[in-house]
Structure 1
Amino acid sequence: MDGSHRLSRKDAHHFAKEVTIDHGRLIAEEDSYNKFNNDSVSSRLIYLYSFGSKTWDCKLITHYYRAFPPSVSEQLDLAEADSVLNSWGLSRN
Protein backbone atom coordinates (compact mmCIF):
# COMPACT_ATOMS: atom_id res chain seq x y z
CA MET A 1 0.00 0.00 0.00
CA ASP A 2 1.46 3.37 -1.02
CA GLY A 3 -0.47 5.45 1.54
CA SER A 4 -2.15 7.63 -1.10
CA HIS A 5 -5.61 6.80 0.23
CA ARG A 6 -4.85 7.64 3.84
CA LEU A 7 -6.28 10.74 5.48
CA SER A 8 -3.80 13.46 6.17
CA ARG A 9 -4.14 15.40 9.40
CA LYS A 10 -5.52 18.31 7.36
CA ASP A 11 -8.30 16.39 5.54
CA ALA A 12 -11.86 17.14 6.62
CA HIS A 13 -13.80 13.90 6.98
CA HIS A 14 -17.01 12.30 8.24
CA PHE A 15 -15.94 11.08 11.66
CA ALA A 16 -18.95 9.22 13.10
CA LYS A 17 -22.64 8.40 12.82
CA GLU A 18 -24.79 7.50 15.80
CA VAL A 19 -28.40 6.36 15.45
CA THR A 20 -30.77 6.14 18.42
CA ILE A 21 -33.55 3.56 18.15
CA ASP A 22 -36.18 2.85 20.82
CA HIS A 23 -38.41 -0.23 20.44
CA GLY A 24 -37.80 -0.31 16.69
CA ARG A 25 -38.53 3.42 16.29
CA LEU A 26 -35.94 5.79 14.93
CA ILE A 27 -35.48 8.55 17.54
CA ALA A 28 -32.43 10.54 16.47
CA GLU A 29 -29.44 10.52 14.17
CA GLU A 30 -26.13 12.29 14.80
CA ASP A 31 -23.32 12.90 12.30
CA SER A 32 -19.92 14.30 13.25
CA TYR A 33 -17.30 15.77 10.94
CA ASN A 34 -13.71 16.62 11.87
CA LYS A 35 -11.19 19.02 10.39
CA PHE A 36 -7.63 19.65 11.55
CA ASN A 37 -7.01 23.33 10.87
CA ASN A 38 -3.35 23.35 11.91
CA ASP A 39 -1.12 21.81 14.58
CA SER A 40 -2.85 23.65 17.41
CA VAL A 41 -6.51 23.92 16.31
CA SER A 42 -9.08 21.36 15.18
CA SER A 43 -12.83 21.56 14.65
CA ARG A 44 -15.74 19.17 14.98
CA LEU A 45 -19.12 19.90 13.41
CA ILE A 46 -22.04 17.93 14.84
CA TYR A 47 -25.50 17.56 13.29
CA LEU A 48 -28.22 16.03 15.48
CA TYR A 49 -31.61 15.37 13.89
CA SER A 50 -34.58 14.49 16.12
CA PHE A 51 -37.23 12.51 14.23
CA GLY A 52 -39.96 13.16 16.82
CA SER A 53 -39.78 16.95 16.70
CA LYS A 54 -38.27 17.07 13.19
CA THR A 55 -35.64 19.53 14.41
CA TRP A 56 -31.92 20.01 13.87
CA ASP A 57 -29.39 20.77 16.61
CA CYS A 58 -26.06 21.80 15.09
CA LYS A 59 -22.88 22.58 16.97
CA LEU A 60 -19.35 23.63 16.00
CA ILE A 61 -16.72 22.72 18.57
CA THR A 62 -13.24 24.20 18.17
CA HIS A 63 -10.44 22.49 20.09
CA TYR A 64 -7.34 24.47 21.03
CA TYR A 65 -4.34 22.36 22.04
CA ARG A 66 -2.51 23.54 25.16
CA ALA A 67 -5.06 26.29 25.81
CA PHE A 68 -7.53 27.02 28.55
CA PRO A 69 -10.35 26.55 28.04
CA PRO A 70 -9.39 23.77 25.63
CA SER A 71 -12.53 24.04 23.50
CA VAL A 72 -15.23 26.48 22.49
CA SER A 73 -18.71 25.34 21.45
CA GLU A 74 -21.04 27.36 19.24
CA GLN A 75 -24.68 26.62 18.33
CA LEU A 76 -25.43 26.97 14.62
CA ASP A 77 -28.62 26.84 12.61
CA LEU A 78 -28.80 24.31 9.78
CA ALA A 79 -27.82 26.81 7.06
CA GLU A 80 -24.78 27.96 9.06
CA ALA A 81 -23.68 24.37 9.71
CA ASP A 82 -24.06 23.49 6.03
CA SER A 83 -22.01 26.57 5.11
CA VAL A 84 -19.18 25.47 7.42
CA LEU A 85 -19.30 21.91 6.08
CA ASN A 86 -19.29 23.15 2.47
CA SER A 87 -16.27 25.38 3.23
CA TRP A 88 -14.49 22.17 4.29
CA GLY A 89 -15.25 20.67 0.86
CA LEU A 90 -17.95 18.31 2.20
CA SER A 91 -21.75 18.14 2.21
CA ARG A 92 -24.40 16.18 4.10
CA ASN A 93 -25.79 14.72 0.85
Structure 2
Amino acid sequence: MFAPTVSGGFFLVPMLISLLRFAPKKAVGTSLASVIFIVFAGFISYSVQTPVNFGLGLLLIIGTLIGSPMLTSLQKIYWGYLKFHGKNLKKNRIIMRFFQIKM
Protein backbone atom coordinates (compact mmCIF):
# COMPACT_ATOMS: atom_id res chain seq x y z
CA MET A 1 0.00 0.00 0.00
CA PHE A 2 1.30 3.45 -0.89
CA ALA A 3 1.02 6.23 1.64
CA PRO A 4 2.29 9.72 0.79
CA THR A 5 4.72 10.87 3.45
CA VAL A 6 6.97 13.75 4.36
CA SER A 7 10.58 12.95 5.13
CA GLY A 8 11.71 12.96 8.73
CA GLY A 9 14.16 15.79 8.04
CA PHE A 10 11.19 18.03 7.33
CA PHE A 11 10.28 17.82 11.02
CA LEU A 12 13.53 16.78 12.65
CA VAL A 13 15.84 19.56 11.40
CA PRO A 14 13.62 22.49 12.46
CA MET A 15 12.98 20.83 15.84
CA LEU A 16 16.68 20.29 16.45
CA ILE A 17 17.42 23.91 15.54
CA SER A 18 14.59 25.55 17.47
CA LEU A 19 14.14 23.32 20.50
CA LEU A 20 17.63 21.94 21.11
CA ARG A 21 19.54 24.94 19.68
CA PHE A 22 21.61 22.86 17.25
CA ALA A 23 23.63 24.69 14.62
CA PRO A 24 21.96 24.21 11.20
CA LYS A 25 24.85 22.13 9.81
CA LYS A 26 24.84 19.88 12.87
CA ALA A 27 21.04 19.47 12.67
CA VAL A 28 21.22 18.44 9.01
CA GLY A 29 24.07 16.02 9.73
CA THR A 30 22.16 14.47 12.62
CA SER A 31 19.10 14.08 10.42
CA LEU A 32 21.13 12.43 7.67
CA ALA A 33 22.77 10.07 10.16
CA SER A 34 19.36 8.98 11.43
CA VAL A 35 18.33 8.08 7.86
CA ILE A 36 20.63 5.04 7.99
CA PHE A 37 18.68 3.51 10.86
CA ILE A 38 15.27 4.48 9.48
CA VAL A 39 16.01 3.00 6.05
CA PHE A 40 17.45 -0.16 7.57
CA ALA A 41 14.33 -0.69 9.69
CA GLY A 42 12.10 -0.09 6.68
CA PHE A 43 14.15 -2.47 4.54
CA ILE A 44 13.94 -5.24 7.14
CA SER A 45 10.18 -4.91 7.56
CA TYR A 46 9.65 -4.78 3.77
CA SER A 47 11.92 -7.77 3.05
CA VAL A 48 10.10 -9.89 5.63
CA GLN A 49 6.74 -9.24 3.94
CA THR A 50 7.80 -9.20 0.26
CA PRO A 51 10.31 -11.21 -1.77
CA VAL A 52 13.31 -9.03 -2.60
CA ASN A 53 15.68 -9.51 -5.55
CA PHE A 54 18.98 -9.09 -3.69
CA GLY A 55 21.06 -9.67 -6.83
CA LEU A 56 19.45 -6.71 -8.59
CA GLY A 57 19.86 -4.60 -5.46
CA LEU A 58 23.56 -5.47 -5.31
CA LEU A 59 24.01 -4.52 -8.97
CA LEU A 60 22.32 -1.17 -8.33
CA ILE A 61 24.58 -0.50 -5.34
CA ILE A 62 27.72 -1.37 -7.32
CA GLY A 63 26.60 0.81 -10.23
CA THR A 64 25.96 3.71 -7.89
CA LEU A 65 29.33 3.36 -6.16
CA ILE A 66 31.15 3.28 -9.50
CA GLY A 67 29.02 5.76 -11.45
CA SER A 68 28.67 8.55 -8.92
CA PRO A 69 32.37 9.47 -8.67
CA MET A 70 32.78 9.14 -12.44
CA LEU A 71 29.90 11.47 -13.24
CA THR A 72 30.97 13.93 -10.56
CA SER A 73 34.42 14.20 -12.11
CA LEU A 74 32.88 14.60 -15.58
CA GLN A 75 30.69 17.41 -14.27
CA LYS A 76 33.75 19.17 -12.80
CA ILE A 77 35.52 18.86 -16.16
CA TYR A 78 32.49 20.27 -17.99
CA TRP A 79 32.10 23.24 -15.62
CA GLY A 80 35.85 23.90 -15.90
CA TYR A 81 35.45 23.95 -19.67
CA LEU A 82 32.56 26.41 -19.36
CA LYS A 83 34.61 28.73 -17.16
CA PHE A 84 37.49 28.62 -19.63
CA HIS A 85 35.22 29.33 -22.61
CA GLY A 86 33.26 32.12 -20.93
CA LYS A 87 31.87 33.69 -24.09
CA ASN A 88 29.11 31.08 -24.30
CA LEU A 89 28.67 30.76 -20.56
CA LYS A 90 25.23 32.37 -20.38
CA LYS A 91 23.85 30.19 -23.17
CA ASN A 92 25.33 27.05 -21.60
CA ARG A 93 23.84 27.89 -18.20
CA ILE A 94 20.42 28.19 -19.78
CA ILE A 95 20.88 24.80 -21.44
CA MET A 96 22.08 23.21 -18.18
CA ARG A 97 19.12 24.64 -16.24
CA PHE A 98 16.74 23.29 -18.89
CA PHE A 99 18.12 19.77 -18.50
CA GLN A 100 18.05 19.99 -14.70
CA ILE A 101 14.38 20.91 -14.83
CA LYS A 102 13.65 18.14 -17.34
CA MET A 103 15.30 15.47 -15.20
Say which structure is richer in strand: 1
Higher relative contact order, chain-length normalized (CA < 8 Å, sep 6+):
1
> TM tier, shorter chain?
under 0.3
Say which structure is richer in helix: 2
When Rg is computed on C-alpha atoms for both structures, the one with the higher figure is: 2
Question: What TM-score, normalized to structure 1?
Answer: 0.22
